[in-house]
Structure 1
Amino acid sequence: MRENNNNAVPQPHPLPNKKAVALKYEPSERIAPVVVAKGQGRIAESILEKATESGVPIQQDKSLVEVLSKLDLDQEVPPELYTLVAEVLSFVYRSDQRAGAKE
């Protein structure tokens, strides 16, 4: 006989369409930011978890993620995306400054 357990807590399932892209920008090494990680579903969740654990600010921009996810790993962001990525970097720098001020 099969027991029906209606009190079971549903386990979260990753959203298969959820995407994430991680960028690295070292002005002394490269002209533009570089894609260092990208993925969707469970991989996207893993990228976001690692960023959170490392204290890396996360910004949500579905349209930018869609475009950046088409780039290869270790590929520099193309010039036509500089303005959009600059907004993300500005967000990151402001977040870092606020975090530093709280310490």
Structure 2
Amino acid sequence: MSDDKADSRRRAVALAYSGERLDAPRVVAKGYGSVAERMIELARQEEVFVHDSPELVSLLMQIDLDERIPAELYQVIAELLVWIGELDRQRDDR
């Protein structure tokens, strides 16, 4: 399959983060097309936050499964985690 065809389909990447101080988030799943759609559907069913950023997904798709994100992505992922924490707190306050 060519990269052009893969790039035209929906992509999804799932990260896991333990919250441990010296641990970085890991890529735990990724997929294209119907696999990506199913990942997003399941995440929403389980009330797992889904962030739509094609540029970030493109970078994360390059990371092997079960690998930690590279240091270059720490800042953007940290900002997302803080934002998700705020959303969770707002939801819990309702």
Distance 2:36 2:27 in 1: 14
Which residue of structure 2 aligns with residue 39 of structure 1? 31
After superposing on structure 2, the runs of 4+ consecutive aligned residues of structure 1 that deviate more than 6 Å are none
Distance 1:83 1:29 in 2: 14
Q: Secondary structure at the match of 2:43?
A: helix
RMSD, aligned CA: 1.5
Which residue of structure 1 aligns with residue 84 of structure 2? 92
Q: TM-score, normalised by structure 2?
A: 0.84
Which residue of structure 2 aligns with residue 80 of structure 1? 72
The 5-angstrom pairing of residues 14-25 of structure 1 reads: 17-25=9-17
Q: Would you say the 8 A contact 1:23–1:36 is kept in 2? A: yes
Q: Secondary structure at the match of 1:58?
A: coil
Gaps of 5+ in 1: 1-15
- For residues 66-91 of structure 1, what are the alpha-carbon distances to aligned partners after superposition, in whole Å with 9 as ceiling and x for unaligned? 00011111110010110111122122
Q: Secondary structure at the match of 1:27?
A: coil
% of aligned pairs identical? 37
Distance 2:10 2:52 in 1: 11
Distance 1:90 1:59 in 2: 13
- For residues 31-84 of structure 1, what are the alpha-carbon distances to aligned partners after superposition, in whole Å with 9 as ceiling and x for unaligned? 100111111100111110111011011111110000001111111001011011
- For residues 3-35 of structure 1, what are the alpha-carbon distances to aligned partners after superposition, in whole Å with 9 as ceiling and x for unaligned? xxxxxxxxxxxxx61111111110338610011
Q: TM-score, normalised by structure 1?
A: 0.77
Distance 1:22 1:50 in 2: 11
Of stretches 26-35 and 68-77 in structure 1, the one that deviates more from structure 2 is: 26-35
Which residue of structure 2 aligns with residue 65 of structure 1? 57
